[in-house]
Structure 1
Amino acid sequence: MAHIEMDLFQWLGFGGMLCIVLAYFLLQIGKCDVHSLTYQLLNLTGAVALIVSLYVHFNLGSFLIEIFWIVITVYGIVKNLSNGYKKC
């Protein structure tokens, strides 16, 4: 059985992944709306955590998707600031 050791950056990436998966899960079960601040902040937090982890454990494909994820999420936050937020 292999022993897996995770460093701080891997744990940070794991936490980021959990944030994104939690946001998607809350959306799917109807607890959050795409216009809710909670949904968008979970996505942003997750993507930023993954970007930081990728600084040490680089993967170009993952890095690029997280950049797009951050840009799109920030756009959504700015757009919804003017329209008001729904509660999650």
Structure 2
Amino acid sequence: MNLTDWLGFIGVFLILLAYFLNTFGIIGTKNLNFILLNLIGSILACLASVLLKYVPFVLLEAIWAIVSLISLLKYFKLFIFRYNK
């Protein structure tokens, strides 16, 4: 396997791990681990798709990464808001 394969494999693994852990009730969708698994996984999968020049998956993974980043920002906003009271 080459670098592109490894990036894609690890990225998809992280996304699927987040899904698995959430499905079995181990972590929730608002859990920092869930958010980070999706964010890092989608960035890696997007990078692999860019290297492969496969635009549909670049679009899919880029949007996935943006949504995950928004979730991360919301998480920290809520975290900071809770502890500033």
Coarse TM-score class (shorter-chain normalised): 0.7 to 0.9
Structure number with the higher helix fraction is 2
Check whether the contact 2:10–2:44 (CA below 8 A) recurs between aligned residues.
Answer: yes
Note the C-alpha offset of 1:68: 0.6
**Structure 2 SS opposite 1:34:** coil
1:3 paired residue number: none
TM-score (ref. length: structure 2):
0.87
1:77 aligns with 2:72: yes
Residue matched to 2:83: none
Cross-structure match for 1:14? 9
Instruction: Provide the rounded CA distance (Å) in 2 between the counterparts of 1:81 and 1:74.
Output: 11
The offset of 1:56, in angstroms, is 1.6
The runs of at least 4 consecutive aligned structure 1 residues that moved more than 2 Å come to: none
* TM-score of the pair, normalised by structure 1: 0.84
Instruction: Tell me, in whole angstroms, the C-alpha distance in 2 between the residues paired with 1:28 and 1:14.
Output: 21
Whole-angstrom CA distance in 2 between matches of 1:45 and 1:72: 12
50, 54, 68: which one aligns with 1:55:
50
Alignment of 1:13-32 (within 5 A): 13-32=8-27
Identity over the aligned pairs, expressed in percent? 30
Segments of structure 2 that go 5 or more residues without pairing to the other structure are 80-85
Instruction: Tell me by how many angstroms 1:52 deviates.
Output: 1.5
Greater RCO (CA < 8 Å, at least 6 residues apart): 1
Structure 1: which 5+ runs fail to align?
Answer: 1-5
Measure how far apart 1:80 and its partner are.
1.3
